[in-house]
Structure 1
Amino acid sequence: MRGIPNRSTTQRVRSTLSATVVVCAVTLVAPTVATAAPPGPTVATGGSSVGVERISVATDEGYGAASITPDGRSIVFTSLKNGPAQGGNAVYVRDRQAGQTRTEPLSEGWTPAISGDGRQVAANAPRQGMTAERIQQHSLDLGLLPVTCGRCNQPSLSADGRHLAFGLLLHPPLNRHVVVADRNGGSETIAVLNTSAPARPSISGDGRHVAYQDLAYRTEGVYLWDRTTGTTSGPLEGPSTSASLVQLSDDGNKVVYLSGSDTYVHDVASGHAQRVANVQGVAIDPTGRYLLYTPSGTGGPSLVLRDLQTGADETVSDQPATAEVDSVSAGGREVVFQSAADGIVPGDTNGTSDVFVRRFS
């Protein structure tokens, strides 16, 4: 692993690019009194016992793209139905402790991100009447915080929601930028990639580190930016192999990436990577100890949680299911996932995708 000055990241791998740096700023709007949002879907209560809870139980639409906060209290998820009240896919946050679900006032959203405290949500959505994407961010305290750029996507929020990492695609020349915006003002371009492929930025809880992938020819790999030192390290998997990013742990100590048929968990402090053979990593818990993965092959469970210290596995779902990043709470206590299978919980007969959370302790 090699350290390189932050601003030379662009020069190191992209000598043919222009020196233009595009900054995408986040502008705060004055707090306003929020209008009442349309009611969210009916949800199950509880969530304190070992087992599976269905978070979305509406009978007329499907749900997916769910993430959970480190304490397991809040879950953000999207609807898969065009709702007239929202103009597109709605974004919901389920507060499991309060037993309430709120509808986020976002015009439309896919793959939403939630801050660690559960008070802010960001989601990418198409600009109205356009195909280019943008990001909307909503704070319970500050209202909507618009990102003033087009073609922004793949949001990742720090624990307090102050820092937002995202991908920005400039056209022309279709180069992907990795940007970190500060809710208090300003932003920083931490990488300019010689590709339009997704960068999948993942930010640590304290906003210090951002992991991202570069899938450009000759530079394919996973990189880690450090705000404190202003340097970027990588490729983490070494120069002779290629990799794609899964997720950075919330504590910033573990970077999960895929290389070949295996998953690797890179320890930032030591520089060593733990190999988990013949599995596809999906997410890691905030402490970096528990890995959610999909086993290779067609038989067996669809999602498994592994304790990387003991090697012990727990089945999350033995029926077809998928999950996103940030889908495991701290200590591997809960895992949120989505599945269209019937019979995961009693009474699930709507025949469409729902969001579930499995609690292990």
Structure 2
Amino acid sequence: MARSVQSSAVRALRIRTAAVAVTAVGAVTLTALPATARAAGPARSPAPNVERVSVAADGTQADNNSTHASLSRNGAFTVFHSAATNLTSEPTPRPPGAVHVRDNATGAVKRIRDSLQDPAVSDDGRYVTYLGWGSQTVKVKLTDLETGQTRTVSSGPAKAGSNSATMSADGRYIAFTQLPDHPSVPSRVDVYDRVKDTYETVSEGPPVSTRDMQEPSISADGRYVAYRDAGTGEVWRYDRDQHTRVRVDDSGSSELVQLSGNGRTVAINTTDGAYVRDVPNGATTRLPGKRIDALGQNGHQVLYQSNGPVAYSALRLRHVPSGRETDVHGNARAVPGALAGEDRLVFDSPDAGIVPGDTNGKADIFLWRAHPPQNGR
């Protein structure tokens, strides 16, 4: 009888112990309970997995802040800005601070030479866009990590800058804001075709409009480009195949967050809240008093915060069709491009304790998965 009671106690202890496990250095997940334990209550989905990705390939913590991370559209690569000097073995850039690319499967990290900020990466991790120094001003740069070739993405004269680049999934098309070299000339939104080495203006401009056009977001296949009219606050979506343009906001003073990967949905912020709109049918989901940080590739997920002026606040993931919400972290932020697929996102936070061993006292980048990774992804 005593042996039976003792065996039952041991089994119960094993079940409780198996419920929580640390999977790797800098990664935490909750494992599913054994079938015998699940029988006592309703089945539960595995808890989200969180991994710190602003670390060197050997797990060394960053010695400075890392922020503004985005994912390739398939979630395989994370790009981010970091002022850290120890994430790679390359010489420290001057001034410190550069774009880094991380392979989420292998943990390998690359620093982009002479890069400044605002990175985006193709699905295969080969092409990266970012802001870098031109001969006279800051311009969009495109680097092929396979060949090491870097080219400037700008359709204006040498003294004209460019910024706000966004890339198609295969890295062929880059939509960006072309800045003027004179105050009398408005900015416009152009698309660069890497294969053909050509430029196409997709926004309105002189003589139709003398207002600045900016903040582009491109679909995964490069067909659709959304952008903002800075003069009116209107948001437009341009179809590069049909050469048609449609307004997608419902009031002035709108801020374009992102166009979905399929080009169908837009996320927009306003002074009193945010909303997600299905462009073809006009269906709109509103988030009063909130600010959207990023939109999912199929338009079904958004990352949002409060609408306050603070940089960090509670970050939540919302499934738009169902209204189901998930807490991501209580003190975090994200940027457009932070959501990939339906179950993968990145954010930055200055908080310690999100994962074990976080003792650097710096803002770090975290990869959040709705489910533990399979086969390293």
Give TM-score scaled by structure 1 length: 0.78
Residues 113 and 156 in structure 1, CA contact (< 8 A), matched pair in contact too? yes
Q: Which residue of 2 aligns with 1:15?
A: none
Q: Counterparts of 1:204-243 in structure 2 under 5 Å?
A: 204-216=219-231, 219-234=232-247, 236-238=248-250, 240-243=251-254
Match of 1:204, as an amino acid?
Answer: S
1:206–1:278 distance in 2 versus 1, CA, 3 Å: same
Q: Which residue of 1 aligns with 2:99?
A: 91
Residues 72 and 120 in structure 2, CA contact (< 8 A), matched pair in contact too? no
| 2:302 aligned with 1:309 | no
Question: 1:48, CA displacement in angstroms?
Answer: 8.6
Question: 1:87, CA displacement in angstroms?
Answer: 3.3
Give TM-score scaled by structure 2 length: 0.75
Question: 1:283, CA displacement in angstroms?
Answer: 0.4
Q: 1:76 aligns with which of 55, 79, 92?
A: 79
- Other structure's SS at 2:125 match: coil
Q: Note the aligned Cα RMSD (angstroms).
A: 2.5
Residues 135 and 155 in structure 1, CA contact (< 8 A), matched pair in contact too? yes
- Other structure's SS at 1:134 match: strand
| % identical equivalent positions | 33
Q: Which residue of 2 aligns with 1:280?
A: 291
Q: Deviations over 1:235-284 (max 9, x none)?
A: x223x543110000111111111123121112122133222222101101
Q: Deviations over 1:87-131 (max 9, x none)?
A: 342221111112322223x31221101123332110012335x4x
- Other structure's SS at 1:199 match: strand
Match of 2:321, as an amino acid?
Answer: Q
Between structure 1 and structure 2, the one with the greater Rg is 2
Q: Deviations over 1:300-328 (max 9, x none)?
A: 96210001011111111112x22111101
Q: Which residue of 1 aligns with 2:141?
A: 136
1:113–1:318 distance in 2 versus 1, CA, 3 Å: same
Q: Which residue of 1 aligns with 2:301?
A: 290
Residues 216 and 226 in structure 2, CA contact (< 8 A), matched pair in contact too? yes
Match of 1:229, as an amino acid?
Answer: Q
Residues 26 and 358 in structure 2, CA contact (< 8 A), matched pair in contact too? no
Q: Counterparts of 1:21-60 in structure 2 under 5 Å?
A: 50-57=48-55, 58-60=61-63
Greater relative CO, 1 or 2 (CA 8 Å, sep 6+): 1
Q: Which residue of 2 aligns with 1:62?
A: 65
Q: Which residue of 1 aligns with 2:374?
A: none
Distance, in Å, in 1 between the alignment partners of 2:368 and 2:336 is 16
| 2:175 aligned with 1:165 | yes
Q: Counterparts of 1:118-197 in structure 2 under 5 Å?
A: 118-127=125-134, 130=136, 132-147=137-152, 149=154, 150-172=160-182, 173-184=184-195, 185-191=197-203, 192=205, 194-195=210-211
Distance, in Å, in 2 between the alignment partners of 1:296 and 1:160 is 34
Distance, in Å, in 1 between the alignment partners of 2:259 and 2:117 is 20
